[in-house]
Amino acid sequence: MLLGRPAVHPSSARLRRERRKCSAAFQLAHELVQGSEAASVAASGGTPYTAVLLHGILGSRRNLSSFAKRLAVLHPAWQVLLVDLRCHGQSAGAPAPVPHSLVAAAEDVLNLLRTLRLFPHALVGHSFGGKVAMAMVSIYARRLPRPVQVWVLDTVPGDVFADGGDHPRDVIRFVQQLPLPLPSRAALVAALTDAGFSTAGAQWMTTNLQNDARGGLSWTFDIDGIAQMYASYEETDLWPLVEDPPLGARIDFIRAERSAFRWSGPDVERIAAAGARVHLLPNSSHWVHIDNPDGLAAILSPSFEALRG
């Protein structure tokens, strides 16, 4: 699907302008999780069915590792590519070309796929990663050479609104102002909870800390770059893609039952009118792959089987 010289979705002029600034020299940190049959195919020189799994803002590929392994067990003919998006995880230490935007993040993944010579059959993105997956399709040809299923996990194509909870924008702004190094993980939890963020969210943020050469702890990610990426995420409108997708692309959305993001009635109706589907995942907050991984896998699995033909 994603090798060769891409064309641009005609409604994505801004994506085209940003894309020209990106560089293929930067490469994302990544790993492959292979099902038993996929490993045998790869060992014999073949290319297994491939899904790309993209994490959300302030996350890393580690967040999705358990779910990737679950998919590989359920679908042994498949392999799952996990990446650390720019400014995140092990990709944060590499000099990613500016701008730090949603489109740049999409180009990074496309460049990695070209390097690995992988032709993904499915793109699965959580939150920010969902829009990265959509942007990957939006900046490519009007007709894809094979069917590609895009799964967007708990985000919408346009404006993002939150109903309380730990809004990523607020978390990013707060931690940008914290002096480094931090003395301990407990100090970070205390700072976040004192500022009104949830204990669960504060504890999760401690997973993004590492030992600092000055003593204490610093971030594993590039927080200033992430701030730019999240601003781009909020500003990028991908409704034109949903309403006029390339031939061969199918886009489905998963809405968490207890999502912190606001899924308005008009959003759901507009997605349905475009021929896409919104699947409700019960017993889940925004962290769909953690709260209800079995339910999430059950929704995704029929498309994995269908793509195999």
The arithmetic mean of pLDDT across residues 197-221, rounded, is 91
Residue 11: pLDDT above 70? no
Give 256's strand partners: 281
Q: What is the pLDDT of residues 138-154, one digit of tens each?
A: 877 577 767 899 999 99
Instruction: Go through the domains of the chain in sequence order and give each one's CATH number.
Output: 13-162+227-308 (3.40.50.1820), 168-220 (no CATH)
Give the N- to C-terminal CA distance of the chain in Å, as an integer: 17
**What gap in Å lies between CA 11 and CA 138, rounded to an integer?**
9
Predicted local distance difference test score (pLDDT) of residue 247: 86
Q: Across the chain, what does the average pLDDT equal?
A: 88
Model confidence pLDDT, tens digit, residues 287-305: 999 999 999 999 999 999 9
Confidence band, pLDDT 50/70/90 cuts, at residue 2? very low
| Residue that has been written with the tokens 């993001």 in this structure | 261
Q: Is the pLDDT of residue 137 over 50?
A: yes
pTM, 2 dp = 0.89
- Per DSSP, the three-state class of 18 is helix
The answer to whether residue 22 scores a pLDDT higher than 50 is no
pLDDT for residue 8 is more than 60: no
Contact indicator for 138, 12 with CB cutoff of 8 Å:
yes
Is 101's pLDDT higher than 50? yes
- Tell me what pLDDT residue 145 has: 66
Q: For residues 149 and 120, give the distance between their C-alpha atoms in angstroms, rounded to a whole number.
A: 9
Cα 18 from Cα 34, distance rounded (Å): 33
The answer, yes or no, to whether residue 248 has pLDDT greater than 90, is no
The values of phi and psi at residue 117, to 5°, are 55, 50
Per-residue model confidence (pLDDT) at position 159? 77
User: For position 164, what pLDDT does the model report?
Assistant: 61
Look at 53 and 286; give whichever has higher pLDDT.
53
Asked if 262 contacts 162 with a C-beta cutoff of 8 angstroms, the reply is yes
What pLDDT was estimated at residue 203? 92
